[in-house]
Amino acid sequence: MAREPIMTHRRPKLAIILALFAVCWANTASAEPRHGLSIFGDLKYPAEFTHFDYANPDAPKGGRLSLIGSGGVTTFDSFNNYIIKGDAAQGLELLFDSLMTRAQDEPDAVYGLIAKSADLASDGMSVTFKLHPEAKFADGSKVTAHDVANSLKLLKEQGKPVYRLSLAHVTEAQVIDDETVKYVFTGDLVRDLPTLVAQLPVFSKAYYDANQFDQTSLKPPLGSGPYAISDHRPGSQVTYKRRDDYWAKDLPVNRGRFNFDQIRYEYFRDRTIGLENLKAGAFDFREEFTSVNWATSYDIPAVRDGRLIRETLPDGSPSGAQGFFMNLRRDKFKDIRVREALGLAFDFEWSNNKLFYNLYTRTTSYFENSDMKAEGKPSAEELALLEPFRDKLVPAVFDNAFIPPKTDGSGNNRENLKKAHDLLTAAGWNKAEKVEILLFEDGFVRIIDPYVSNLRRIGIDASIRMVDPAQYEQRMKSFDFDIAIQRYSMQLTPGIELRNFWSSEAAKADGSFNLAGISDPVVDALIDKAIAAKSRTELVTASRSIDRVLRASHYWIPQWYKASHTIAYWNKFSRPAIKPPYDPGVIDTWWYDEAKASALASGKPLAADAAKDKANP
């Protein structure tokens, strides 16, 4: 959570988990093996494609990329980021392959990795994957359908709630033979399930027969992916070494990717110390999430002479929902008037002007920066979904989509604060009631203090509760907070993962993403509509309807976003001419440039590649 303008999901690892749900599957008229799966249309890449367009198939291999552990993470005690226990190291997704992998230049397509083909049943109730016979784990043992089936079992029975909820309607994984596995589904909302299971990590059954899956451990696990753990020191670093014997290195989905011999995640006590270590050359790459740092802390000789590159990359992904989440599991927040009052006390325009150098835009939607965002009054199609629930919804749902009121940025927020005070009075607010905002890093205090002051002005006994990162993690998992700050990114094609954010079931599941504790049958029903959508038009309508209901209910106080990545890196890397629109592409497609590294060492850096992304956004 150390990122000032853009908060991470509970941990960046959860960003990897959510990527598992990024792709959905529409009903098709035929059922035949295909090299990939897509939603609502054809695949971009044909069966004979040789590499993704955004990857350079001739990229050299070698060198090391070292980057700061993001999200304010200061240490780790586990190499398993698929269970709720422990603080997992970053980068663990590099260890495990899945049946199929996502293309980062399509909103909703996956292509064969461990699986060479997928055969979706015509009724959508099952999908059969044929495995590459060459697929192997790092110890040389073959990846079989038995491993795939057991991976599903482990995730459903012992994995995080996000897996158990999303896989609830995956009945089983049937082993047809060593190289064929069939997933069987149940229920009416199965559209997402084929590509969901296609992207699950595949674990070695033999390894987890001998090692407990549901316990934290710093024993490097056996994987089948492009990297293996080579060194680690909790609180300091974890290093991944590229596997020369990686079985899938020449597959089309991998050609030109995973070019670094080593990827090292560095850990520091806080991000300020991390920034100073970047400038001292202790590591290579940092994405900057603090506006004051971006505006003022990079005016140093290394930046001016081109040794340290400071750059902004476009981000075509939905910016998602970042804000103050109020915990409705606590009675003090159950009254909608109280929640609205808390929102009125936050003066974004002042914060953006005085604290953020006007670098950010106010978030208003749970689907910010995407076509799923509701705007204006409901369309006829949205009304058709909402009208059956009119008597259960606040009237504001049927008006213009809620947008937080603006101020002039002067800090004179009297009108909003008066309205907030009146709402609290009408709600019978008890002035003895305390409200705590949970934090774990000092760097965010300067942002929250002005908001706390405004809350006190309207009669709320507000304060900041500072805890250490481990306690913060545990309290978030168990929902032990009044107000917490998080960011959750929606997918380009929202689907079954919506249940993990806002469903009544997720509200009761420790470790879920439903921080606010939203438990509303109307929201549940609209989520089902989104999951069942047979076209993108239907999906947009359902998502906008969900957005309207959530925004009108004041479950959160939206903060800010920017549709870009602000990065700084030492000038010893090169990258393809095309950046993937939905990913920074750094770990995935950049490479170590020997000529640049030599020039950097000599103090005469070569030109960077910044113009490439400007020409190919």
Q: Over the stretch 236-273, which tens digit does the pLDDT of each residue have? A: 999 999 999 999 999 999 999 999 999 999 999 888 89
Alpha helices in 379-495 (DSSP H): 380-386, 414-426, 445-457, 469-477
Q: What are phi and psi of 439, to 5 degrees?
A: -135, 165
CA–CA dist 48, 27 (Å, integer): 24
CA–CA dist 189, 169 (Å, integer): 8
Tell me the mean pLDDT in the region 584-597: 96
For residue 194 the two structure tokens come to 């084929």
Q: Please choose, from the candidates 143, 122, 141, the residue with its C-alpha nearest in 3D space to the C-alpha of residue 131.
A: 143
Residue 165: CB partners within 8 Å, gap ≥ 6?
A: 499, 500, 503, 505, 506, 509, 512
CA–CA dist 596, 573 (Å, integer): 7
Q: What is the pLDDT of residues 554-576, one digit of tens each?
A: 999 999 998 889 999 999 999 99
The pLDDT of residue 607 is: 77
The pLDDT of residue 114 is: 98
Residue 508 shares a structural domain with residue 367: yes
CA–CA dist 229, 263 (Å, integer): 10
Residue 613 domain-assigned (yes or no): no
The pLDDT of residue 17 is: 38
Asked which of 190, 210, 230 is the last residue of a domain, the reply is 210
The pLDDT of residue 31 is: 58
Residue 580 domain-assigned (yes or no): no
CA–CA dist 498, 506 (Å, integer): 10
Sheet arrangement for strand 170-177: 115-120, 126-131, 180-185, 170-177
CA–CA dist 86, 20 (Å, integer): 21
**Contact at 8 Å (CB) between 122 and 106?**
no
Residue 517 domain-assigned (yes or no): yes
Lowest mean pLDDT among 93-102, 186-195, 236-245, 413-422: 186-195
Asked which of 526, 543, 561 is the last residue of a domain, the reply is 561
Tell me the mean pLDDT in the region 111-118: 98
Residue 196 shares a structural domain with residue 330: no
Residue 489 domain-assigned (yes or no): yes
**Contact at 8 Å (CB) between 530 and 495?**
yes
Reply yes or no on whether the pLDDT at 15 is more than 70.
no
Q: Please choose, from the candidates 160, 37, 12, 163, the residue with its C-alpha nearest in 3D space to the C-alpha of residue 493.
A: 37
Point out which residues pair with 264 in neighbouring strands. Answer: 66, 239
The pLDDT of residue 470 is: 85
Tell me the mean pLDDT in the region 480-497: 90
The number of CA neighbours under 13 Å toward the Cβ of 265 is 26
Longest dimension (CA), the chain: 72
CA–CA dist 243, 258 (Å, integer): 10
CB atoms near residue 613 (< 10 Å): 18
CA–CA dist 307, 302 (Å, integer): 5
Q: What is the pLDDT of residues 296-327, one digit of tens each?
A: 999 999 999 999 999 999 988 888 789 999 99
Q: What is the pLDDT of residues 391-442, one digit of tens each?
A: 999 999 999 999 999 999 999 899 999 999 999 999 999 888 999 999 988 8
The rounded mean pLDDT for the chain is 91
Residue 405 shares a structural domain with residue 544: yes
Per-position DSSP letters for 119-153, written without gaps between them: EE-TTSSEEEEEEPTT-B-TTSPBP-HHHHHHHHH
The pLDDT of residue 615 is: 32
The pLDDT of residue 70 is: 65
The CATH number of the domain holding residue 333 is 3.10.105.10
The pLDDT of residue 3 is: 46
Reply yes or no on whether the pLDDT at 7 is more than 60.
no
Reply yes or no on whether the pLDDT at 18 is more than 60.
no
CA–CA dist 89, 35 (Å, integer): 32
Residue 197 shares a structural domain with residue 343: no
Look at the chain and report how many structural domains it folds into: 2
CA–CA dist 35, 51 (Å, integer): 13
Q: Please choose, from the candidates 440, 512, 483, 506, the residue with its C-alpha nearest in 3D space to the C-alpha of residue 84.
A: 512
Structural domain harbouring 165: 12-43+74-210
Tell me the mean pLDDT in the region 105-132: 95
Reply yes or no on whether the pLDDT at 365 is more than 70.
yes
Per-position DSSP letters for 300-320, written without gaps between them: SHHHHTTSEEEEEEE--S---
The CATH number of the domain holding residue 180 is 3.40.190.10
Quick one: DSSP state of residue 404? P
Residue 265 domain-assigned (yes or no): no
Tell me the mean pLDDT in the region 378-392: 98
The pLDDT of residue 26 is: 38
| Helices 521-532 & 536-552 angle (0-180, nearest 10) | 160
In one-letter notation, the amino acid at residue 483 is I
Residue 404 shares a structural domain with residue 552: yes
The pLDDT of residue 609 is: 64
Residue 69: CB partners within 8 Å, gap ≥ 6?
A: 90, 265, 266, 267, 268
Reply yes or no on whether the pLDDT at 386 is more than 70.
yes
Lowest mean pLDDT among 62-76, 210-224, 352-366: 62-76
409, burial (CB in 10 Å: exposed 0-12, middle 13-18, buried 19+): middle
108 pLDDT band (50/70/90 cuts)?
A: confident
604 pLDDT band (50/70/90 cuts)?
A: confident
Residue 332 shares a structural domain with residue 455: yes
Residue 287 domain-assigned (yes or no): no
Residue 127: CB partners within 8 Å, gap ≥ 6?
A: 118, 119, 120, 121, 182, 183, 193, 194, 197, 198
Reply yes or no on whether the pLDDT at 5 is more than 50.
no
Residue 330 shares a structural domain with residue 197: no
Q: Please choose, from the candidates 486, 480, 439, the residue with its C-alpha nearest in 3D space to the C-alpha of residue 463.
A: 439
In one-letter notation, the amino acid at residue 598 is S
Reply yes or no on whether the pLDDT at 290 is more than 50.
yes
Asked which of 163, 179, 210 is the last residue of a domain, the reply is 210
Residue 597: CB partners within 8 Å, gap ≥ 6?
A: 63, 572
CA–CA dist 330, 328 (Å, integer): 5
Residue identified by tokens 């965002």 is: 373
615, burial (CB in 10 Å: exposed 0-12, middle 13-18, buried 19+): exposed
Tell me the mean pLDDT in the region 545-558: 98
The pLDDT of residue 29 is: 34
270, burial (CB in 10 Å: exposed 0-12, middle 13-18, buried 19+): middle
228 pLDDT band (50/70/90 cuts)?
A: very high
Residue 51 domain-assigned (yes or no): no
Q: Please choose, from the candidates 348, 357, 305, 325, the residue with its C-alpha nearest in 3D space to the C-alpha of residue 571.
A: 305
Tell me the mean pLDDT in the region 514-524: 97
Tell me the mean pLDDT in the region 462-481: 94
Residue 101 domain-assigned (yes or no): yes
**% of the chain at pLDDT higher than 70:** 93
